[in-house]
Structure 1
Amino acid sequence: METLRIAFIYDVIYPWVKGGVEKRIHELAKRLAEKHEVHVYGYRLWGKETEIERGRIHYHGIVRIDPKALYAGSRRSILPPLLHSFGLIPALKGERFDVIDCQASPYLPALSLKVLDVKNVFITWHEFWGNYWLDYLGKVGLVGKTIESSLFAFERHLAVSQKTKMDLQNAGLRKPVHLVPNGVALREIRSVKPSPLESDFLFVGRIIPEKGVDFLLRSLALLKRRFPDFRAIIVGDGPERRKLERLARELGISDNITFTGFLKDYRDVIALMKASKVFAFPSRREGFGIVVLEAMASGLPIVTVNHPMNASMHLVENGKTGFVTSLSEKEFSSALLRAYEGWKKLGRTAEKKAENYDWDEIVKALLSVYRGG
């Protein structure tokens, strides 16, 4: 098979910023780089060099951004992706790639590829907002909705979940959409030993409103009446953290909760998963939910919520690998307790299901799509 020259385009880059999209690109890139030439174009989150190489992956820092500037309040700031998009035009001009895998959001970088009239572009959709833009921004959301749908002009599309694929088709995208899901690094997860810091319930994610950590805390407050000594760990950071720490005190559960903040080492997160019993994930907006797969691969049952924008609920077999509840704190609290009581059996089933999502197999499927198979 011929060697391909591949570019991934997204604004934030793993491991300097850790999230689901960043993790997908990292896991795919490091496997592809074993036999192919791989480049990643995003923010310069490291030192002075505009280009660095790590693990045979070539990283291009288009514009220097402080990670603290990524958010304006609880929402992602528009300025950094705008600067990134303008910077992509001179950075990519004259470059020749066999494949450019551009993440749909934040949309503007894809428009820069249109300006350059670049060929061989795949748009990877992690979620599709459509009318949700209006809920998110009101009338101003019409701008986001219009820009999002403008990406339908590209010829090649990838979706990371069946839900997103169906959302795209229902929104009028008539071009083929290839399903290439996210995955987990099974061998690495299995090599990690449990953390000495044990917990009954664990949350991992960005501390932003959509993740529903406030909902989780109120659910845990209800649970305390039946399980007064529970231990819960909240892993992650974000603009909501201080408010949530204050809410935990107001609810009388601060002694039960540990906020760890952001953990730099991925293995430390997995170690905490292996030292917990239930993964609590009440996210109302999730394009896939890699962290849910990682928890399943670590042997944890999942408790999540039924919401139209939460694709991670489709990873959970209700009653077999965890529970999917309504947006009711009482129902979520009861599901947490049921998952805790049956965590060993539910966790074994969840771990078995996660075996279908090994990154080594995902990258083979991706290469087949890249090559037109």
Structure 2
Amino acid sequence: MMRVAFVSNVVFPFVKGGAEKRIHEIGTRLAANGHDITVYGRHFWDGPKETTHEGMTLRAVASETELYSDDRRSITEALDFAARSIPPLRRHLRANEHDVVVVSVFPYFPVLTTKLASLGTDIPLVTTWHEIWGDYWEEYLGYLAPFGKFTERLTARTPQHPIAVSGNTADRLATIGPERDDITIVPNGIDVDQIQTAPRPETSYDVLFAGRLIEHKNVDLLLDAFDKVAGSHDATLGVIGDGPQKSRLEAQRDALTHSDRVDFLGFLDDYEDVLGQMRAADVFASPSTREGFGLTFAEALAANCTVIAADHPDSAADEVIGDAGFLVKPNVDSLSNILGRTLNGAQPAQSPSKRAQQYDWDTVADQAEQAYQRAIDGS
């Protein structure tokens, strides 16, 4: 039996997001296999500061608070959580209550303080790297970008057992910190059965996008590309998601020749509503140029969509979809060309649903369990 401690300022399902969902899915499966699992986080749940949830112990080390400031993750919140986590972590680690502690890297500071809390013990620190931001810090933080880059590099160079969610992320991590051979790849996961049984919606779309409406997702390219082919294919496009570019993108939609074929659905609170839309769509298109993994690609594969993604060095889309989808240059002409072909029935070489099986949470949890055990063993 392993005694695993996860450190995450947000805890699923009380706050919904990819990194915290990964902890939940892996943690609950490890707990079901007889391991002792504790999650240190903010007190987002009702009831006492320490409680049990689906076989895991949840331990609040800080109170609930706002996570975002001006549509960006709050640096103050991250620093506050990191600082408040030190005393309880240090107390429980020194009492030898855990064999390994696992920290999601973003927002970085908890990695540094967890390492500080573990000093004087033999308990290994495992980190999970979802992506490497690099030059993206300039877009995200502006004049504060050097601070972001420094923090990312400092975190990467902290002694750890690093896990990356893709080979792309691992390669980028190796340029700022650990040796590439020391990085273990454990992908993000999906619940294949849940996706393939999600109820289909009353209103569906031929082409679907799902994701945050931010610049590097390149939804503007998708709108223009779709407009070029919509007339000759009698197709419709649904855009799921919200974000700072929503108003601008809606204005762009209104100027399209086939604007009546495009609907913005906003953020869908019920995850199964997103999955149902994927099941009902023929094509899932996301020309995003920055994806540390690309979870929506895996979900769309499981829904048996024909997936179209951007071929870009900052995206792991090629790893995720393999031969079960199509990669295009992130420009309107390339995207409209492949959209037209897929709407005419072009199929990828490999079955999308078959490809998706390797990302099922059961498989991912087994890989994570092996990685945590290797860290404990020192190998």
Distance 1:295 1:134, change over 3 A: same
Residue 82 of structure 2: aligned partner:
85
- Aligned equivalents of 2:170 and 2:239: distance in 1? 31
Bigger Cα displacement from structure 2, 352-361 vs 16-25: 16-25
Residue 209 of structure 1: aligned partner:
215
Residue identity in the other structure for 2:99: D
Q: Which runs of 5+ in 2 are unaligned?
A: none
- Aligned equivalents of 1:55 and 1:331: distance in 2? 46
- Aligned equivalents of 2:358 and 2:310: distance in 1? 23
Displacement of 1:171 = 3.1
Residue 328 of structure 2: aligned partner:
325
- Aligned equivalents of 1:18 and 1:340: distance in 2? 33
Displacement of 1:274 = 0.6
Residue 124 of structure 1: aligned partner:
128
Distance 1:339 1:76, change over 3 A: farther
Alignment of 1:148 onto 2:152: yes
Bigger Cα displacement from structure 2, 41-50 vs 204-213: 41-50
Residue 358 of structure 1: aligned partner:
360
Bigger Cα displacement from structure 2, 218-227 vs 202-211: 218-227
Matches within 5 A, 1:289-368: 289-317=294-322, 320-342=323-345, 345-346=347-348, 349-368=351-370
Residue identity in the other structure for 1:359: W
Bigger Cα displacement from structure 2, 123-132 vs 100-109: 123-132
Alignment of 1:161 onto 2:166: yes
- Aligned equivalents of 1:202 and 1:347: distance in 2? 21
- Aligned equivalents of 1:77 and 1:252: distance in 2? 40
Q: Are the equivalent residues in 2 in contact too, given 1:42–1:60 (CA < 8 A)?
A: yes
**Of 4, 7, 11, the match for 1:6:** 4
CA deviation map 1:73-112 (0-9, x unaligned):
4x33322222221221234231132221101111111111
- Aligned equivalents of 1:116 and 1:351: distance in 2? 43
Q: Are the equivalent residues in 1 in contact too, given 2:225–2:332 (CA < 8 A)?
A: yes
- Aligned equivalents of 1:14 and 1:261: distance in 2? 22
CA deviation map 1:104-142 (0-9, x unaligned):
111111111133235321011111233443465456322
CA deviation map 1:288-334 (0-9, x unaligned):
011210110110111111222211232233xx422211121121122
What percent of counterpart residues are identical? 34
SS in 1 for 2:220: helix
SS in 2 for 1:124: strand
Q: Are the equivalent residues in 1 in contact too, given 2:199–2:273 (CA < 8 A)?
A: no
- Aligned equivalents of 1:310 and 1:114: distance in 2? 29
Residue 183 of structure 2: aligned partner:
177
Q: Are the equivalent residues in 2 in contact too, given 1:196–1:275 (CA < 8 A)?
A: no
Q: Are the equivalent residues in 1 in contact too, given 2:225–2:333 (CA < 8 A)?
A: yes
Displacement of 1:347 = 9.1
- Aligned equivalents of 1:11 and 1:335: distance in 2? 41
Distance 1:46 1:246, change over 3 A: farther
CA deviation map 1:242-298 (0-9, x unaligned):
332232113354422222222232222211111111111122221101121011011
- Aligned equivalents of 1:347 and 1:294: distance in 2? 18
Q: Are the equivalent residues in 1 in contact too, given 2:216–2:290 (CA < 8 A)?
A: yes
SS in 1 for 2:260: coil
SS in 1 for 2:342: helix
**Of 240, 245, 251, the match for 2:250:** 245
Q: Which runs of 5+ in 1 are unaligned?
A: none
Q: TM-score, normalised by structure 1?
A: 0.88
Q: Are the equivalent residues in 2 in contact too, given 1:279–1:301 (CA < 8 A)?
A: yes
- Aligned equivalents of 2:15 and 2:340: distance in 1? 33
Residue identity in the other structure for 1:76: R
Residue 110 of structure 2: aligned partner:
109
- Aligned equivalents of 1:266 and 1:122: distance in 2? 29
Displacement of 1:36 = 2.1
Distance 1:258 1:90, change over 3 A: farther
**Of 282, 291, 298, the match for 1:277:** 282
Residue identity in the other structure for 1:357: Y
Q: Are the equivalent residues in 1 in contact too, given 2:168–2:314 (CA < 8 A)?
A: no
Alignment of 1:235 onto 2:217: no
Distance 1:88 1:282, change over 3 A: same
Matches within 5 A, 1:28-43: 28-34=26-32, 35-43=34-42
Residue identity in the other structure for 1:190: Q
Q: TM-score, normalised by structure 2?
A: 0.87
Distance 1:278 1:19, change over 3 A: farther
RMSD (CA atoms) = 2.4
Residue identity in the other structure for 2:134: G
CA deviation map 1:183-204 (0-9, x unaligned):
2212222332433322111111
- Aligned equivalents of 2:13 and 2:242: distance in 1? 15
